[in-house]
Structure 1
Amino acid sequence: MNTSNKSIKKAYQQFFLGLLEGDGSIQVNHWRKRSLQFRIVIKLKYTHANYAMCAEIREQLGIMNLHIRRGFIIMVEDHRVRLLSIMAIIDKHGLLLTHKRRQYAFFKYCYNNKITYSEYAHIKDLKNSWLGFNSINDYSSDQLLEFSHWPNWLIGFTEAEGCFCIRSNGIHSFSISQKDGSEVLTAIKKTFKIPNKVRSTSRLYFLETYAGVVLQNICNFYSSSRVIGLLGEKQIQYKTFKISLEKKKLDK
């Protein structure tokens, strides 16, 4: 991105939120029923590219610690003061998935009010019906598209949940999935003008396209100078995909 340092930092913040919503969790746990522990975690498959991406996020934003465990990269922050920096990023831009917004509302309430374990247990027993956590409703797909951080958020989310595939028969496809959040996949469908329906199974929502014109729209988006671009393993996957797709067009 050919922009100022301030704009680059902002883009990394937005990308980070998409990555967090795709492969992360916002946790309030307890230690032996005595005290509460607050953690924000992102877990990714270990590759050199994913490690470089995580290290770059840490460098740019000054957040999260990195650990490598059993074939995974764990980005984690559990320091009460440093968590404030991540909370400031979330409050500035906003989360988009409903279940993550509910997670964060509970996290923030517990953190800001310094609640005791007994209060925590009481709220958990009520299954978030107390304090209106369950009244946080879905954004519509059109509302999602109006958020200024949607493009960079989508790229971070793609790092977590997207796939650029070249099948053994030479067919190219793009797919993206999410356990909860059909409205997000509908917004992605609208962003790329994908004609296919958002499908659902008992486990997740799923969107996939093979259409050449649509795949070109997708490539235009991920290669645009107006967005941060893919940063980790998906960047390598995307570059291979794009080169192969362009070669296929030339062969035709």
Structure 2
Amino acid sequence: MKTHNKILCGDSFCQSTAKKESAYKQFFLGLLEGDGSIQVNHWKKRSLQYRIIIKLKYSSANYAMCAQIRNQLGIMNLHIRRGFVILVEDHRAKLPVIMTIIDKYGLLLTHRRKQYAFFKYCYNNRITYSEYAHIKALEQSWFGFESINDYSSDQLLRFSHWPNWLCGFTEAEGCFCIRSNNNLSFSISQKDGYEILTAIKKTFNIPNKVRSTTRVYFLETYAGRILESLCYFYTSPSTIGLLGEKQKQYETFKIVLAYKLKK
């Protein structure tokens, strides 16, 4: 029996399993930062409620992806409601499992880091509603935000979980577009995300500038060689790749791109 367990839990098996779990955790964080929220709310001004949630438009692929994340990591509850697939955890005793993942790797978007700093402070200190309301009134001047500054694009690229985080973030915010004339483009956007998009621009050597509107920062490329490098990245065995609806979108995109490059 001991020999059997040793075979099942040999170094190579355990390492590959651990690597897979780490990749899922990193992907989960990218998805959370793109399409999620870290919330502290109140119930009738009496008690505080804590919730970490990811909300995606329903599709069979997104449902399968969320079920896969839940089963692989043993976190979050899965709901299908009003055209959305939702991963959520609001049980106080279970939230520390997710907090451990966040603490280990770190969030990258400044506004998510601030959300989490507030969440963690409230959770760990079991603060009263009156202190909660006071912090809300202070907005950005709360002392808990003082040490949270934007990461530069170069700092972002140095994070070891950047590749798998980017896969999750792309699943949330990216778009592989095939126009009616078969022209292709890749775009990704984020509110208050200039440095993130600049890091993505550097990852793929995209020559286009990060543009901005009144609502979001936006990066788009049509260049064939850049689109080809994107495909190498999302198909690389060194990343987890795409897992949901964007994976389906990407597979069609990749086929059309390969055809165009052969011409």
User: After TM superposition, is the score higher than 0.5?
Assistant: yes
Aligned-pair distance for 1:134? 4.5
Which moves more between the two structures, 133-142 or 225-234?
133-142
Deviations 1:157-200 (A, max 9, x none): 00000000111111110000001110000000000000000000
AA aligned to 2:192 is: D
Aligned-pair distance for 1:135? 4.0
Q: 1:130 aligns with which of 137, 142, 153?
A: 142
Say whether residues 1:101 and 2:122 are aligned partners.
no
Deviations 1:69-99 (A, max 9, x none): 1100111100011100000000000000000
Q: 1:211 aligns with which of 223, 226, 230?
A: 223
Other-structure match for 2:4: none
Other-structure match for 1:36: 48
Alignment partners' CA distance in 1, 2:141 and 2:134: 11
Secondary structure, counterpart of 2:88 in structure 1 = strand
Q: How many residues are treated as equivalent by the alignment?
A: 250
Other-structure match for 1:140: 152
AA aligned to 2:31 is: L
Q: 2:57 aligns with which of 36, 45, 50?
A: 45
Other-structure match for 1:14: 26
How many percent of aligned residue pairs carry the same amino acid? Answer: 76
Runs of 4+ more than 2 Å apart: none
Alignment partners' CA distance in 2, 1:147 and 1:126: 31
Q: 1:157 aligns with which of 140, 153, 169?
A: 169
Alignment partners' CA distance in 2, 1:216 and 1:63: 35
AA aligned to 1:213 is: R
Bigger Rg, structure 1 or 2: 2
Aligned-pair distance for 1:39? 0.2
Contact 1:192–1:214 (CA under 8 A) maintained in structure 2: yes
For structure 1, list consecutive stretches of 5 or more residues without a partner in the other structure. none
Say whether residues 1:111 and 2:141 are aligned partners.
no
Note the 1:169-180 alignment, pairs <5 A: 169-180=181-192
Secondary structure, counterpart of 1:126 in structure 2 = helix
Contact 2:164–2:240 (CA under 8 A) maintained in structure 1: yes
Deviations 1:119-160 (A, max 9, x none): 111111111422231541100000000000000000000000
Q: 1:239 aligns with which of 251, 256, 259?
A: 251
Other-structure match for 1:84: 96
Q: 1:65 aligns with which of 62, 77, 85?
A: 77
Alignment partners' CA distance in 2, 1:144 and 1:130: 25
Aligned-pair distance for 1:11? 0.2
Q: 1:188 aligns with which of 200, 204, 210?
A: 200
Deviations 1:25-84 (A, max 9, x none): 000000000000000011000000000000000001111111111100111100011100
Contact 2:186–2:227 (CA under 8 A) maintained in structure 1: yes
Alignment partners' CA distance in 1, 2:144 and 2:256: 50
Contact 2:211–2:219 (CA under 8 A) maintained in structure 1: yes
Note the 1:217-236 alignment, pairs <5 A: 217-236=229-248
Alignment partners' CA distance in 2, 1:62 and 1:132: 30
Length-normalised TM-score, structure 2:
0.93
Secondary structure, counterpart of 2:107 in structure 1 = coil
Alignment partners' CA distance in 2, 1:232 and 1:225: 17
Alignment partners' CA distance in 2, 1:128 and 1:30: 20
Alignment partners' CA distance in 1, 2:146 and 2:119: 14
Contact 1:102–1:134 (CA under 8 A) maintained in structure 2: no
Which moves more between the two structures, 106-115 or 241-250?
241-250
AA aligned to 1:137 is: N
Contact 2:29–2:102 (CA under 8 A) maintained in structure 1: yes
